[in-house]
Amino acid sequence: MKQFWVDCRPWNKEIATTAIESGADALVVDRAENVKQLGRITTVAPDGDIKPGTDVIECTITDKASENAAAQAGKNRYVIVTTSDWTVIPLENLVAQSDRIIASVKNVHEAELALHVLEKGVYGILLTTSDSAIVRSVASLLKSSGGTVGLIPFTVTKIHPVGMGDRVCVDTCSMLSDGEGMLMGNTSSAMLLVHAETLENPYVAPRPFRVNAGAVHAYILLPDGKTAYLSDLSIGGHVLVTDAKGATHTVIIGRTKIERRPLLLVEATSGNVKVSLVLQNAETIRLVREDGGAISVVQLAPGDRIMGCALEGGRHFGMAIKETIREK
């Protein structure tokens, strides 16, 4: 997730309030005390959570020497970078050397450029503006710039009940849309896209904030490319939401519910890639078809095409590792 910092120097209460309401991660201020009356948010200030000079420095890039100095500083702290004529080349050089570069920007265009430098983009941006509308626009850009997951169609080979077990519902702090869901799998090498409970059903009302995800042991793909066991998710954490085309964004976990339910196993293949997932055996549990529509697990049949992704297998505390690991 890209960091969104907003510069409120000199103190600008309107910009600070808009930034907090728009979901900014931190405010850069002269005095952290000014922020306390507005809400809880990380402050970058001499008396704040992140301290200038110690945790973060500001650098203006004017030549190769200043660029080298910023790169060196970025090895052990955050660096807020301002370019004199706002060219992308210095940012590319810095992003190639450090994962702690924060680009100072003034508008949506500059923010979009910084977020896509060398594809991976900067660690975050620091927005300097006196226009609240620009704050909201940049916040919207960051929310929509979650990147993409390379989805591929899998052909279902097997669906069969496996008995009772514990499954996890992931309830988010966001309303999800038709076609959106979360990626889960029995192994970390391949996952299926499980549709959110956004659709009408004659038996229960839609729960657009929920994904009935799978059994407690399953892996879920997280925003930073790591994975977690469904049983390890907790309130206030973040999970990745993916649509049928692979576009992603991040949502906050409001709660998880673990309940004992009848389960079934879905297995599918795509070329040499095999995927499987244990899900609740219920009509409201849906996967995503190749055309982007949802299909219930009770209607699923061998030969159906459903969307998922293939990943690098082998994980240690959720991080991909180069090691011989067999998951079966």
- What confidence tens digit (pLDDT) does each residue in 168-194 have? 999 999 999 999 999 999 999 999 999
Phi, psi angles (nearest 5°) of residue 156 = -65, 130
Q: How do residues 7-27 score in pLDDT, each as one tens digit?
A: 999 999 999 999 999 999 999
Q: What is the pLDDT of residue 317?
A: 42
Region 251-270: what's the mean pLDDT? 97
Does the global pTM surpass 0.85? no
Does a structural domain hold residue 324? no
Are 297 and 281 in contact, with CB atoms under 8 Å apart? yes
| 26 contacts: CB under 8 Å, gap ≥ 6 | 3, 4, 5, 6, 41, 42, 43, 44, 49, 50
- Residue pLDDT, tens place only, 112-136: 888 888 777 889 999 999 999 999 9
Tell whether 179 and 67 lie within a shared domain: no
CA 24 to CA 19: how far, in whole Å? 5
Average pLDDT, integer, range 143-148: 72
Cα separation, 219 vs 91, whole angstroms: 35
Task: Indicate if 250 and 137 belong to the same structural domain.
Answer: no
78 plus 189 within the same structural domain: no
Q: Is residue 326 part of a domain?
A: no
Separation of alpha carbons 109 and 39, rounded Å: 29
**Are 167 and 282 in the same domain?**
yes
Domain match, 253 and 311 both: yes
The domain that holds 8 is classified in CATH as 3.20.20.70
pLDDT tens-place string over residues 211-256:
999 999 999 999 878 899 999 999 999 999 999 999 888 899 999 9
Is residue 322 one of the residues assigned to a domain?
no
Q: Are residues 70 and 110 in the same domain?
A: yes
Domain limit, last residue, from 144, 170, 202: 144
Average pLDDT over residues 105-117: 89
Across 13-83, the runs of DSSP E, i.e. the strands, are 26-28, 42-44, 56-61, 78-83
Judge whether 278 lies within some domain.
yes
Residue 156, helix vs strand vs coil: strand
How many structural domains comprise the chain? 2
Do 104 and 170 lie in a common domain?
no
What is the rounded CA–CA span in Å between residue 263 and residue 159? Answer: 11
Residue 324's pLDDT is 45
Task: Check if the beta carbon of residue 218 is closer than 8 Å to that of residue 172.
Answer: no
If asked whether residues 139 and 236 sit together in one domain, one would say no
Chosen domain end from 144, 164, 186 = 144
Residue 282's domain comprises 151-315
320 within domain boundaries: no
135 shares its domain with 156: no
260: in domain: yes
Instruction: Give the span between the Cα atoms of 265 and 277, in whole angstroms.
Output: 6
280 plus 295 within the same structural domain = yes
**186 and 226 inside one domain:** yes
Q: Which two tokens stand for residue 302?
A: 């061998």
How far, in Å, CA of 267 to CA of 274, rounded?
Answer: 7
Residue 218 in any domain: the answer is yes
Look at residues 129, 144, 159 and tell me which one is the last residue of a structural domain. Answer: 144
Among 327, 2, 15, 8, which residue's Cα sits nearest to residue 189? Answer: 327
327 in any annotated domain? no
| Of 167 and 71, more confident | 167
Same domain, 20 and 92: yes
CATH code for the domain of 163: 2.170.16
Structure tokens at 73: 């500083």
CA distance between the termini of the chain: 31
